[in-house]
Amino acid sequence: MSALFSPRSDALLKLVLGLLAGGAIATLGGFMLYVRTPYGVSQNEQLVQPVMFDHRHHVQDDLIDCRYCHTTVEKAPSAGIPSTGTCLACHSQVWNKSPLLDAVRASWFTGKAIPWTRVNQLPDFVYFNHAIHVNKGIGCAECHGRVDQMASIEQAQPLNMGWCLQCHRDPVPRLRPLDQITNMKWQAPANQAEVGARLAKQYDVHARVSCTTCHR
Amino acid sequence: MPSLGLPIFGQTPAGGTPAPRWRSLAERDGRVDPEAGTYPDGEQPPPEGFSRRSFLQILGASTALAGLAACKPPREQVVSYVKRPASVTPSVASHYASAVSRGGYAVGVVVESHEGRPTKMEGNPGHPASLGGAGLHELATILDLYDPNRLAGVRRHGQPVAWSSFLGELSVLAAAHAKDGGARLRVLAEPTSSPTQADLRSRLLVRFPRARIDSWGPIADDAARAGTTLAFGRPLDPEYRLAGADVVLSLDADFLATEGDHLRQAREFARRRGQPAGMNRLYVAEASFTVTGGVADHRLRMRASEVLGFGRAVAAALAGHHGLPQLGPLGAPLTGDRNRQATAVAADLARARGRGLVLAGRRQPAALHALVAALNEALGNAGATVVYREPALLDPASGPDRLELLASELRAGLVDTLVITAWDPVYTAPADLDLAALLGKVPNVVYLTSRDDETARAANVVVAEAHPLERWGDLRGRDGTASIVQPLISPLVECVSELDLLAAFVDQGQLGAFRLVREGWMARAGDAGAGGSRASDAGAGGSRASDAGFDRAWSEWLAAGVVTGRGAAPTTPVKTVLATGRVAAALKAVPPVRAGLEAVFAPDDKLLDGRYAENAWLQELPHPVSKLTWDNAASLSPATAARLGVKTGSVVTLTLRGRSLDAPVLVQPGHADDSVTLPLGYGRTVAGPAGTGVGFSAYALRASAAPWIDAGLELKPTGRKHALAQTQEHFSMEGRSIALSYDVAELPKAVHELEEQRGPQPSLLPLVDYGKEEYRWGMAIDLGKCIGCGACTLACQAENNIPVVGKEQVLTSREMHWLRVDRYYEGSEADPETISQPLACVHCEQAPCEYVCPVNATVHSDEGLNEMVYNRCVGTRYCSNNCAYKVRRFNYLDYHGTVAPQLKMLQNPDVTVRARGVMEKCSYCVHRIEHARIDARVAGVKIGGDAVVSACQQACPAEAIVFGNLNDPASRVARLQQGERRYDLLHELGTRPRTAYLARLRNPNGELV
């Protein structure tokens, strides 16, 4: 009686087993790598917004401070998306016939809100609070990047938990004076370790890493 | 390790008498028999109709598909305001004051609103009926706002009619009725104290002088007012001031949970409990076990019909032995043990003249209320612990008498148009009236209701009623304090208020309740003249300046939730003159107590008269005493049950006055013998999915002649069984001494015992010193103050987005309440004492749950909080298995994913909504801590030791729960935890819980022990 399996089948079996094990590891590893890529965390993703709002123009050319539109950033968890009324405070006077602003005027006259697409999106179980960050010396640009150079807003940082914790474990390198919070061009000085430590003391910075700091 | 000296279950402690504690009769007798189809705690029944093979097939398929589905979360939209209201800061909650009606009287509430979306109702600290506490119904009312089964618009025979055209029809109808002065027009209204409605009613009666407005409330205080009429010649509302009462005798009055200003009364009562100095003493004579009976120092168990005799025996003892001869004609001594009790109570009351209080329950006849008034007058309590006020209700009589009168007119065909704004009279009316049939004889029945119900089916036109958070209105408290009811949201469905509907009959339906209320108050403020109050500024003749003055006062009233100024202030207590002769005659006219089984009707603690039957929070809340959910049951005493051969869950046929009803039985330890308590409010035939067919309707046996206590009940077992979903048998702590209570005289001796139940225990684990942290959060629960009402459970549910699971899930121990109130019995089965113990996660510093979590989903914070991290949890449930306190809750099913979309508007955005497969538990309201922390740190200050208030603490009417920073020695919680009554629950385990309990103290009368 001939053998049930040819001598080659042993190697084949090893190959299949190897592929299965390798495939499993590669799949798992692939997913773990994927969620760490900028694509996986939606970093720098270009999004279409209902109004082609250009931060470059408003920040650089018009020198409008962030807080003019994002009014509640210093006192509330949410920085606040400007109301249609805020847009039209200026645009009822300037560019009041521009077709680019059709959607804004339509919103005003119909009373229907502008449906912006969220750019910096955190999971529902994360409770981020703008007020505490900007009051303790974390500038807008630390998380939002150089908004003054963005034609359309994109997510500048990974916004995953590891990235948050970098700063929560050691905020000193990123602390800036409170009068520089909205300054997009601020650069850390050469002696930031020293300045930051002083600021941390001055502002009583206690970056917490307990789970319920953000997850409630 | 030193001996703990704890009593061990089933063993007799050395040198003492056995004091076994038990949670149910089954546990006491050691027969926790798992019935067919039930499983022990936490055990899952095997899946049905789903084989392991098909499970694996689906598992494989879903794994294969997982890669496709889980690429990225979908992009959200952010929607900004078009014009942002100045008062709204997105992501920051606003709070508005309003009031809700309880039996027609106002209870002040503060409503939390997130971007215009009301999410929680709390008590208003500035309102005299709330003082900051909230009862079950104040807390649960908000769920009704988002009920997907609410009615919308106007319907005639089911066909929608536009409100505007309906207004036109009403105008024509009203004009027709005006021709004969409204002789064939009747209104059956909800009892109310609204000043605006008073104005409206007087305008209605000017246009329709021959019409009549009757009030109907199935659980009205008519007997109490009839009693004051006997005693003083006119109907008056007693107001009890428990702060000054050293000795309290409650004659069947559940004044801590369901009667009177129970929130204020509970607070005043509890302030005299707990600490040994200045303790009051409470005697309760009652048949059914109530919340008030549970905290009594002496609960005198007697049939409801015997309470009157007991009151007379007390009067006789006072007249005979304590120099109060004016009580002689009212008294009648009893014999035997009962008389000994009455004598002891009388002696105690006589010792505390002017510092005592006697109360009578709404169930009791008018003669007893009159007797109680006489007792309080004779003892000098009147004017001190009880004052009398003119009833603030527009119509003090709202009991069966008025309904009977209306029914006789309906029967005679004297009514063409009946407007019903009272809640569901077809369901709540005494059975002998047969209101449903009578309504068929009326050509026009216009019914205002928020949901489809029994009366809506009998009415021609059904008008959808606005929720209290959607409408303008006003109400008075029992003391006359007025509050404006303000809406927090524009109506979610097309609906109107009672004011709108009644105004339509005087052709003012298009005005809207806002103008009616505001202009009414403008007139009242104007009438007040130059009274020196702010509101009276508006009275200077309608000039612009005075308009501005009124506007300012109006805004202040809305902000405070209480109207200030003339015409709004509390009424002054009236002077009373007692008519002893009339009281004596009334007492003589009371028929003697009949032997045999007696039916006692009781408003349900949760559903009241049934208007909350569709409220799933209340349906699922364990009843304060019986711990029953999703059902009512006929309760009777163990001895009576044994005599009749029934046990808990047996279905019996109850027959009373020729009417029969099938109901399940609940054997209630401590119930009076030969008496059956029938809770009202269940057995709705037309309600929504939550309320229809739950329990039995005791109204079907209720007669208008005897609406509360009725003799001659017959009870026959049917042999059938009904599964009652009690949470009582679950989470048994195996009889160890968990909830400690001592007599106040014993406390010096007990101090040593308590010391052994606190302090450090040896541990193998490294100890973390939290003393150096800025904040060390902790809680103290005073069992001496806790009345066990369950408001904390409900407040927690509302605050923390806790789902409702339904009866089937409760039967398998899967209720989700983070905070439960355990109720223990002590002593004999026939006449036990109870003790209630609120229990949530105690935040062990050495938490057993943390060591066993394989994924670090439950960990300690730097401040020692036991944190539950939902996003890490993979649902092994090891933590729950290892939790000594059994306070962890697991989402077995997707409870949130299946609710109606508008119910999602109710959810608190500060708390994560948990998904299926995730463990959850009390977080110490960590979102409130973090909010306080961020506010304090932005302001550059420390969080005050008492600044963070947990949701349960905020609601507790008795102030039994105190939360705060233990590292601040001045904080209330730190001081309480240093006290001599403090002990740690399951201290022997060395878990170092952050929640400490304060042992309960009882203040029994030595003569009765």
CA distance B621 to chain A (A): 24
- For residues A110 and A182, membership in a common domain is answered with no
Query: Does A16 fall in a domain?
Result: yes
% of chain B surpassing 90 pLDDT = 68
Q: What is the pLDDT of residue B49?
A: 58
- For residues A123 and A195, membership in a common domain is answered with yes
- Say whether residue A23 is in contact with chain B using an 8 A CB cutoff: no
% of chain B surpassing 70 pLDDT = 90
CA-to-CA distance for A181 and A135, rounded, in angstroms? 9
Q: What is the pLDDT of residue B730?
A: 45
φ, ψ of residue B241 in degrees (nearest 5): -115, 95
Provide, as residue numbers in chain A, all residues whose Cβ is less than 8 Å from the Cβ of B919: none
B37: enclosing H helix or E strand: none
Q: Where are the beta strands (DSSP E) in A80-188?
A: 115-117
Tokens of B837: 């113990």
B123-137, B562-576, B819-833: lowest mean pLDDT where?
B562-576
Average pLDDT (B430-452) is 91
| The pLDDT of residue B465 is above 80 | yes
CA distance B665 to chain A (A): 43
Give one word for B406, left, alpha or beta, with left for phi > 0 and alpha for psi -120 to 50: alpha
Give the pLDDT band (50/70/90) at residue B4.
Answer: very low
B-contacting residues in A 137-156 (Cβ below 8 Å): none
- For residues A201 and A111, membership in a common domain is answered with no
Q: What count of residues does chain B have?
A: 1009
Q: Is B82 close to A211, i.e. CB distance below 8 A? A: no
Q: What is the pLDDT of residues A75-124, one digit of tens each?
A: 999 998 999 999 999 999 999 889 999 999 999 999 999 999 999 999 98
Average pLDDT (B536-553) is 62
- For residues A74 and A134, membership in a common domain is answered with yes
Q: What is the pLDDT of residue B13?
A: 44
Provide, as residue numbers in chain A, all residues whose Cβ is less than 8 Å from the Cβ of B84: 83, 85-86
**Longest CA span, chain A:** 97
Nearest to B870 among A113, A117, A215 (CB): A215
Q: What is the pLDDT of residue B32?
A: 56
CA distance A101 to chain B (A): 14
Tokens of B756: 């052994």
Q: What is the pLDDT of residue B568?
A: 61
Query: Does A123 fall in a domain?
Result: yes
Q: Domain limits at A111?
A: 82-115
Q: Is B90 close to A80, i.e. CB distance below 8 A? A: yes
Provide, as residue numbers in chain A, all residues whose Cβ is less than 8 Å from the Cβ of B77: 115-118
Scan for tokens 């997510």, then name that residue: A155
Q: Name residue B999's amino acid.
A: A
Could you tell me if B243 and B270 are in contact, meaning their C-beta atoms sit under 8 angstroms apart? no
Q: What is the pLDDT of residue B932?
A: 95
Q: Quote the mean pLDDT of chain B.
A: 88
Q: What is the pLDDT of residue B24?
A: 66
B449: enclosing H helix or E strand: strand B444-449
- For residues A129 and A209, membership in a common domain is answered with yes
Query: Does A46 fall in a domain?
Result: no
* Torsional sign, CA B177, B183, B189, B193: positive
Q: What is the pLDDT of residues B813-837, one digit of tens each?
A: 899 999 999 988 888 888 888 899 9
Provide, as residue numbers in chain A, all residues whose Cβ is less than 8 Å from the Cβ of B92: 72, 75-77
CA-to-CA distance for A203 and B16, rounded, in angstroms? 62
Q: What is the pLDDT of residues B420-433, one digit of tens each?
A: 999 999 999 998 88
Best CA proximity match to B346, nearest among B320, B317, B376: B317
Q: What is the pLDDT of residue B10?
A: 47
| The pLDDT of residue B363 is above 60 | yes
Nearest to A210 among B861, B871, B937 (CB): B861
Q: What is the pLDDT of residues B304-330, one digit of tens each?
A: 999 999 999 999 999 999 988 888 889
Could you tell me if B391 and B234 are in contact, meaning their C-beta atoms sit under 8 angstroms apart? no
Query: Does A45 fall in a domain?
Result: no
Query: Does A158 fall in a domain?
Result: yes
Q: What is the pLDDT of residue B787?
A: 95
CA distance A174 to chain B (A): 18
Q: Is A113 close to B937, i.e. CB distance below 8 A? A: no
| The pLDDT of residue B527 is above 80 | no
Provide, as residue numbers in chain A, all residues whose Cβ is less than 8 Å from the Cβ of B83: 83-85
Give the pLDDT band (50/70/90) at residue B569.
Answer: low
Nearest to B82 among A85, A208, A212 (CB): A85
CA-to-CA distance for B346 and A206, rounded, in angstroms? 63
Total domains present in chain A: 3
Give one word for B480, left, alpha or beta, with left for phi > 0 and alpha for psi -120 to 50: left
Q: What is the pLDDT of residues B476-501, one digit of tens each?
A: 999 889 999 999 999 999 999 999 99
* Angle between helices B136-145 and B791-799 in degrees, nearest 10: 30
Q: What is the pLDDT of residues B598-657, one digit of tens each?
A: 999 999 999 999 999 999 999 999 999 999 999 999 999 999 999 999 999 999 999 999
Q: What is the pLDDT of residue B65?
A: 58
SS3 B699: helix
| The pLDDT of residue B173 is above 60 | yes
- For residues A88 and A161, membership in a common domain is answered with no
φ, ψ of residue B461 in degrees (nearest 5): -120, 130
| The pLDDT of residue B11 is above 60 | no
Tokens of A175: 């602390």
- For residues A161 and A64, membership in a common domain is answered with yes
| The pLDDT of residue B156 is above 50 | yes
B58-62, B505-509, B680-684: lowest mean pLDDT where?
B58-62
Q: Among the three residues A115, A135, A159, which one is the final residue of a domain in this structure?
A: A115
Query: Does A43 fall in a domain?
Result: no
- For residues A91 and A27, membership in a common domain is answered with no
| The pLDDT of residue B929 is above 70 | yes
- For residues A163 and A106, membership in a common domain is answered with no
Q: Among the three residues A65, A92, A115, which one is the final residue of a domain in this structure?
A: A115
Residue B391 or residue B570, greater confidence: B391
Q: What is the pLDDT of residue B664?
A: 95
- Say whether residue A208 is in contact with chain B using an 8 A CB cutoff: yes
Q: Is A116 close to B78, i.e. CB distance below 8 A? A: yes
B-contacting residues in A 146-205 (Cβ below 8 Å): 204
CA-to-CA distance for B392 and B236, rounded, in angstroms? 9
Provide, as residue numbers in chain A, all residues whose Cβ is less than 8 Å from the Cβ of B950: none
Q: What is the pLDDT of residue B567?
A: 58
Residue B536 or residue B357, greater confidence: B357
Q: Is B82 close to A112, i.e. CB distance below 8 A? A: yes
Q: What count of residues does chain A have?
A: 216
- For residues A161 and A70, membership in a common domain is answered with yes
- For residues A129 and A203, membership in a common domain is answered with yes
Best CA proximity match to B455, nearest among B470, B471, B442: B442
Query: Does A190 fall in a domain?
Result: yes
Provide, as residue numbers in chain A, all residues whose Cβ is less than 8 Å from the Cβ of B910: 127, 216
Q: Is A210 close to B863, i.e. CB distance below 8 A? A: yes
Query: Does A23 fall in a domain?
Result: yes
DSSP code of residue A113: P
Best CA proximity match to B247, nearest among B137, B354, B173: B354
Q: Is B937 close to A108, i.e. CB distance below 8 A? A: no
For B571-606, letters b (16+ CB in 10 Å) and e give bebeebebbbebbbebbeebeebeeebbbbbbbbbb
Q: What is the pLDDT of residues B768-793, one digit of tens each?
A: 889 888 999 999 999 999 999 999 99
- For residues A66 and A155, membership in a common domain is answered with yes
Work out the end-to-end distance of chain B between its first and last CA atoms, rounded to an integer number of angstroms. Answer: 37
Q: Name residue A45's amino acid.
A: E
Best CA proximity match to B482, nearest among B493, B492, B473: B473
Q: What is the pTM (predicted TM-score) of this model?
A: 0.89
Provide, as residue numbers in chain B, all residues whose Cβ is less than 8 Å from the Cβ of A131: 934, 938
